[in-house]
Structure 1
Amino acid sequence: MRYAISSNAYTRFSLNEAIERIHNCGYSALEILADHPHISPLDITPQEVKQVTRLLEQKGMSVSNMNANTAVSVYPTIHHIGETVFEPSLCNRIEEVRLQRIRYTERCIDLAAEWGASCISVTSGKCLAGNPPDQAYLLLVESLTQMLPYAEKRNIRIGIEYEPGLLIENANEVQRVIAEFNHPLLGINLDLGHTEVLGEPLAGTIQRFGEKIVNIHLEDIRGRKHYHLVPGEGDINFEEVLEALKSIHYDNFVTFEIYSYPDDPDGAAKRALAYMSNYTISC
């Protein structure tokens, strides 16, 4: 099993510092947060891109995924959209806002190709006031329709991540979007913590999506409360998870998303890797 950790655990450090620290914690791969404070995809310079490339090469680090789930770094340029985490979103009713997020996501596709990641992850965004779910869904489909040809040029997979409270918030809804396109580059960034929060079957959900899984986000959950814990500190049956991944011959990364420990990200990173090393199941 190939483990990585998201740099969103290290938001009190620069991206270069995060790469150094993650490497020192024993990882050979990380997911890069495509947002503040690590990078601003629309503003990053060619020189900054090359600096990250050189550091990754020096450390022998791979990139599991470009996490384009949020776009806080561009929010100040958009006015009156009512939300600061998932906006500008791919389902926003204002065309200018959606186009901003599309450009942002396409730049993340470029960076994924530059840094050797095979995929990026995106979220749908929320249904804000004046944008009911049926309308928001059509706008999301429209946005993905515009982005997929760009992903084809770079051969980068797009994984939709469902999350409680968003337009696309469960397995049934993300499956509907994937089926809408039936495109080889469109799949799911499966966050198993979200699966647990929603009470969906872990093994069944893994087997349901199979080859459509482009990346796994892994954390622990206690009492179905949406709070990302280090594996081993909650209720998830990780042996069941790994057996299910083995059953579908999963060969991509399992990325720890444990951003809940900003005061001690190194400790959380080390505990996650140590705990999962107790399982010897190979996929």
Structure 2
Amino acid sequence: MLKTSYNANGLRSVPVTEAVRAVADAGYQAIELSLHPQHIDPFTFGPADADRLSSALERYGIVACCLAAGADNLLSAERFEPSLIHPTREGRERRIDLVKRALDIAADLGVPVINFASGIRKPEVSEQDADRWLREGLTRLIDHCDGVVLAMEPEPGFFVESNDQAVALIDDFATPRFTLAQDLGHCRVVEEDYLASVARSLRATSVIQVEDIKGRHHHHEIPGDGDIDFRAFFRICREQGYEGYYSVELYNHSDDFDAALKRSIAYLQEQYDAATAA
């Protein structure tokens, strides 16, 4: 069975409880929650907010499969900064604190996984320092986990931008609390053979985000509007026994989220069925 989710960052124009309803009404089994002031503000989200959100999830009959902790402007006007590899200790501490807050919120909501990213290596930061700071931050975050799994999402242009880089880190730490959040579109942008990358990395993967890509341009397209071979992708996932969620991420289609919701699930189901029948 195709297990579908939709990332709430594509429904920022409505309150989070309305986002839950819209995702459920479109036929998805799950929602990927996202840190955004419009939905979950990590600095103000409290027990009453958690109760309201949990009640909405129960009322509409879907689960929260993941919490995305990589919102681009929560900490500063500079996108994705400060990061886990920021040049200053204060900056790195602010990002670690944010991810810890995400872990705590996920635990309160019963969300099993959070995803996060390494950040962008600034020109004045050496690769050696970036690697050291990232590993120091990861150690502290893994120690903070309490029933919630960390999933690193490779991002084009970031210090960790490929599945192979993330899996190498995951193998070094060798703990079930640290996994990979694959993003199929990012694989298409970064990898020469994106399907081979997916296949190599499934063993470490806890959730997969999906969107379509035209060429190798990093712009999230509705599935079916780009060049990704979803049928081959689903065939690989089935052959390797992946049983997690496929979470559609279309943050740049929030102005017409209803169409994006419906078109995405219809196309993904069609391609999944074709892969199953092949």
TM category, shorter: over 0.9
Superimposed CA distance per residue, residues 154-195 of structure 1 (whole angstroms, 9 cap, x where no aligned partner)? 221111111111111123321232232122211110001011
Kindly state the Cα deviation for residue 71 of structure 1 after the two structures are TM-superposed.
5.4
CA contact (8 A) 2:163 2:201 kept: no
- SS where residue 44 of structure 2 aligns? coil
- Higher alpha-carbon deviation: 228-237 or 165-174: 165-174
The one-letter code of the counterpart of 1:125 is: G
Counterparts of 1:160-171 in structure 2, within 5 Å, are 160-171=152-163
- Determine if contact 2:85/2:130 at 8 Å carries over to the other structure: yes
Name which of structure 1's ranges 200-209 and 253-262 shifts more when overlaid on structure 2. 200-209
Does residue 250 (structure 1) correspond to residue 242 (structure 2)? The answer is yes
> How far has the Cα of 1:28 moved from its partner?
2.5
Deviations 1:123-182 (A, max 9, x none): 00111242233211211110001110111xx22111111111111112332123223212
Matched residues in 1 for 2:69 and 2:52: separation? 20
Q: Does 1:141 align with 2:135?
A: yes
Which residue number corresponds to residue 55 of structure 2?
54
Query: Which position in structure 1 is the counterpart of 2:201?
Result: 209
Pairing 1:199–2:191 present = yes
What residue is the counterpart of 2:101 in the other structure? 107
Amino acid in the other structure paired with 1:95:
R
Following TM superposition, by how much is the alpha carbon of 1:94 offset from its aligned partner in structure 2, in angstroms? 1.5
Structure 2 unaligned blocks of 5 or more: none
Equivalent pair of 2:181/2:209 in contact (CA under 8 Å):
yes
Q: What does residue 44 of structure 2 align with?
A: 43
1:66-85 aligned within 5 A: 66-70=67-71, 72-75=73-76, 84-85=78-79
Write out aligned runs for 1:1-283 (5 A). Answer: 1-70=2-71, 72-75=73-76, 84-151=78-145, 154-278=146-270, 279-280=272-273, 281=275
Deviations 1:171-220 (A, max 9, x none): 33212322321222111100010111123323322221223101101010
Q: Kindly provide the amino acid, as one letter, of the partner of residue 117 in structure 2.
A: T
Following TM superposition, the consecutive aligned residue runs of length 4 or more in structure 1 with deviations greater than 4 angstroms are none
State how far apart, in whole Å, the 2-side matches of 1:4 and 1:264 are: 17
Partner of 2:255, secondary structure, is coil
Aligned partners of 2:214 and 2:94: how far apart in 1? Answer: 36
1:115: Cα distance to partner?
Answer: 2.4
Provide the TM-score with structure 2 as the length reference.
0.93
- Cα distance 1:199–1:64, how it changes in 2: closer, same or farther (>3 A)? same
SS of the equivalent of 2:105 reads helix
> How far 1:236 sits from its partner (Å)?
0.5
Amino acid at match of 1:67: A
Q: In the aligned structure 2, how far is the partner of 1:237 from the partner of 1:5?
A: 20
Code of the residue aligned with 1:184 in structure 2: it is P
The alpha-carbon deviation at position 66 of structure 1 amounts to 0.4
- AA of the residue aligned to 2:159: L
Deviation, structure 1 residue 35: 2.5
Task: Give the match for residue 80 of structure 1.
Answer: none
Q: Output one character per residue of 1:29-60: Cα deviation in whole Å (capped at 9) or x when no partner.
A: 11001223221112212111111111111111
**Fraction of identical pairs, as percent:** 29
Give, in whole Å, the separation in 2 of the partners of 1:206 and 1:235: 16
Contact persistence 1:40–1:74 (CA under 8 A): no
Of 219-228 and 273-282, deviating more is 273-282
- The two structures have a TM-score, normalised by structure 1, of 0.91
Q: Match of 2:253, SS?
A: coil
Gaps of 5+ in 1: 76-82
Q: Compute the displacement of 1:223 (Å).
A: 1.1
Counterpart AA for 2:86: N
